[in-house]
Structure 1
Amino acid sequence: MELIHLRILLALKQSGTLSAAADQLHLTQSALSHQMKNLEQRLGVVLWRKQGRLLVLTQAGKYLSDVAESVIATIDSAEQHLALLGAGKTGKLTVGIDCHACYEWFRTILQPYLQAWPELDVEVTSRYRFNSLEAVRHYKLDAVLTADPAFDGALHYQALFDFELVLIVASRHRLAGRGFIEPSDLRQETVLTYPVDRERLDMFRKVLQPAGIEPLKHITVEETDIMLQLAASQRGVCLLPEWLLAEKADRLALASLRFSDLPLTKTMYLATRHEDVTLEYIQGLIGLASNRPARIDVE
């Protein structure tokens, strides 16, 4: 199997017709058909079937086109990176954000970092939020900011800073002012979280589920600022990094609470491929992130 076969399959998947795929790849239709017939003969499978004027991928063709999408993304990324290096530019850094609250912190270091590396092409994305570590391994991302590492040896994890999760409530909430609270105190509460599976939410996996507690209601909220405003209006409580309360607590009348005998300290990491750790712009990001206080003003 050659790279051209994967490019042909991907072009067919995207265009649906032989002529459009041939135009996209700057090949004649006969050359394209010849390439794929040879591949089908070698593999012993049928990769597409004609359906009117369209070409429809078979099960084998769909599988191989998915493989092609991943492989070609890796190849294209490598070629782009090498081309930038060959042109004398620093390169490109694509950073994934693995958690909603991470954005609020990362934006405080982004501008200083861009100023420190003016020739670096930087992209920040949450496109791979639920499989970002896998995206780094497959060269779709260069680094991921995450508080949930997978220490399996596949990636390098650089610890940046520690932070604490706290329960955020309105300053007039019935629990406000307590020294410590228990998970059972949330039994009659509406819990506000990001729209993420419960298995990935610290509120459920670290607080409620170990205690066998089900809250009165669970509401998902996409934006951090809206979540804090809902909490301030006593429409729910939320578990968030303590830094998110900076400057916001007084203006929105919010308070933070800690659970008795339930430490909720986490560490923020930058995950990268092992071979990229020594790159100057990766080290620059690590240095800036490590020295930046995990306490911000959320505007």
Structure 2
Amino acid sequence: MENNPETSLIGNGRPRPRVSGVITSFNEEHNIGDCIESLAWCDEIIVVDSFSTDRTPEIAQGYDKVRFFQRNYFGAGAQKNWAMRHVRSDWIFLLDSDERCTSELRREVKTLLADGPEHDAYMMNRDVYLLGKRIRFSGWQHDRVARFFRTGTAYYENRRVHSVLHATGETPILDHPIEHHMVDRSFDEYAFRLAKYGYWNAAQCWRDGDRTSSIEVMVRPVWRFFRTYILQLGILDGSTGIVFCLLQSYSTYMKFAILWGWQTNEARGIPPGLPEFDEDESTWDGLKELTKSEGATSEE
């Protein structure tokens, strides 16, 4: 692991912990600049890109603090674990390209570092935006993620999507949120992304030994919409809520439809077209050591 912390002094004479911003990206030319600038307070920013075909690499490499890498994408957890092996700081603040660290959160983190953190990892609420409008319900009102943690104390699982972060000790929630601009420009890009997530989710289910049925293909998306729009109050998000909940239902449909298709083809002797997973042991060494220790927790 390439860790070489450099420190300066804070007001009470103690060394100021260095912070590395970590960002993962793929074809995020409309987001990457704002994301990097929201982490300008960090001592360095590591961007790990999955060989974008747009201007993402050009934009990212235009910032002096950025250390830019490109790596094949094997899943969110693999990408982030790989990035964390290359930091040169005491702490890590991690974002996806469509997320932002707010000025209020930045000040809170700086105060936390100045006072001396009592924990190794911290969670924060995540405010979701759809075409510039905040989604306050629809199942996202309690969305929390652990994105600020001491280097070497937290690692992600080997999953293609929705990888869980495991950390040492408790993970208290900070007062201020990060912003998640889930859909900032157009629905066509987001619909394509949801279809891709559906494929990756299906691949994860197949890898885990899960199977489905045609009934589940029909029922699961309907239940997802009912749960998010009615039970989780998506109706209170107005017209944005109904569109948003339908999109989430579409992703669920793609997941189970693809899984059902693979099962059907398997009976015909046709193997599923699964994506690659990262089988490099070094990517997961930190997670293995962490889960062996007592007091390890996850963000779920």
The TM-score range, normalised by the shorter chain, is: under 0.3
TM-score normalised over the length of structure 2:
0.22
Q: Which has the larger radius of gyration?
A: 1
TM-score normalised over the length of structure 1:
0.23
Higher helix share: 1
